[in-house]
Each structure stands twice: as structure tokens, then as C-alpha cells.
């Protein structure tokens, strides 16, 4: 019996980018990958624009909620992926997996906001998810 790879996506609030990455990974990989997301400073609710952007491509993050990083999960995840530039996280010394950072596109730096911004972020994350799944 093979075990599914375990991936943990982390951002600051766990309301947008890491939730999008998790939803897009679940949508693409189904049950083949154990997927989690968390925030270093979790917010109160999901980003509605993020929810809409992933729903446009058939993914769903509506049933989730922002949550903090679980130390046990951090230790056992095969891949811990920090999404974006802001969140800071280090793996514990006894972690079994690897840490990588996805420095995602930030369209607001170019004056792009709203739904267009979220679609660009979603598409950037979706391309990174596809690459990740090819490497797992």
C-alpha cells in the first residue's frame, strides 16, 4: 500500500492564497494527495473574491475556514509550501518534509485589483500546483 503525499500550503491569513492553492490541488489531484492549508496569523473568514475565482474553474474552498499552523502537521507533511512573500515559517528540526516558497504574482503592484487580480493570482497558483503534482 502506498501512502498519499501530504502537502501543507501556508500564507499569513489562510483566507486567500493558501486556501486557493489547497482547493486547486484538491480539484486537480482528487484523493491522490492529502491537502491542508494554514496561516501564520489566521484571519476570521475566507476571502470572498478568492472563493469566486477558484469556483470559476470548478474548485471549491467554501467549506473551509482560516486556521493556524498545526505543529504536528508541519512535522509530518511531505511538502510545506509558503504561498506568497509575506508569511515567515521554518520547519522544525524533526520535520520529515521539505519547505519551498511560491513567490506568487501580486497584480495589485501593477494597479490591478478586484476580480481580475484574483483571477491572475489563481492562474499563477494553478500553474504552480500543476508543476507540484508533476513532481510528487
User: What is the model's pTM?
Assistant: 0.95
Residuewise pLDDT in 10s, the chain (136 residues): 458 999 999 999 999 999 999 999 999 999 999 999 999 999 999 999 999 999 999 999 999 999 999 999 999 999 999 999 999 999 999 999 999 999 998 899 999 999 999 999 999 999 999 999 999 9
Q: What are phi and psi of 11, to 5 degrees?
A: -135, -170
Q: Which fold has domain 6-135?
A: Rossmann fold (3.40.50)
Tell me the C-alpha distance between 128 and 133, whole Å: 9
CA distance readout (Å), 72 to 42, 77, 91, 129? 17, 9, 11, 23
CA distance 118 to 107: 8
What pairs with residue 83 in β-bridges?
A: 102
Amino acid at each position: 500500500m502506498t501512502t498519499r503525499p501530504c502537502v501543507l500550503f501556508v500564507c499569513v491569513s489562510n483566507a486567500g492564497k493558501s486556501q486557493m492553492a489547497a482547493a486547486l490541488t484538491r480539484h486537480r489531484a482528487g484523493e491522490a494527495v492529502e491537502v491542508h492549508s494554514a496561516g501564520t496569523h489566521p484571519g476570521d473568514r475566507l476571502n470572498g473574491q478568492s472563493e469566486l475565482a477558484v469556483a470559476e474553474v470548478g474548485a471549491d474552498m467554501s467549506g473551509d475556514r482560516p486556521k493556524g499552523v498545526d505543529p504536528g502537521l508541519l512535522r509530518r507533511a511531505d511538502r510545506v509550501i509558503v504561498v506568497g512573500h509575506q508569511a515567515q515559517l521554518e520547519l522544525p528540526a524533526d520535520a520529515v518534509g521539505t519547505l519551498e516558497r511560491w513567490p506568487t504574482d501580486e497584480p495589485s503592484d501593477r494597479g490591478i485589483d478586484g476580480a481580475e487580480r484574483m483571477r491572475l493570482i489563481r492562474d499563477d497558483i494553478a500553474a504552480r500546483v500543476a508543476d507540484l503534482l508533476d513532481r510528487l
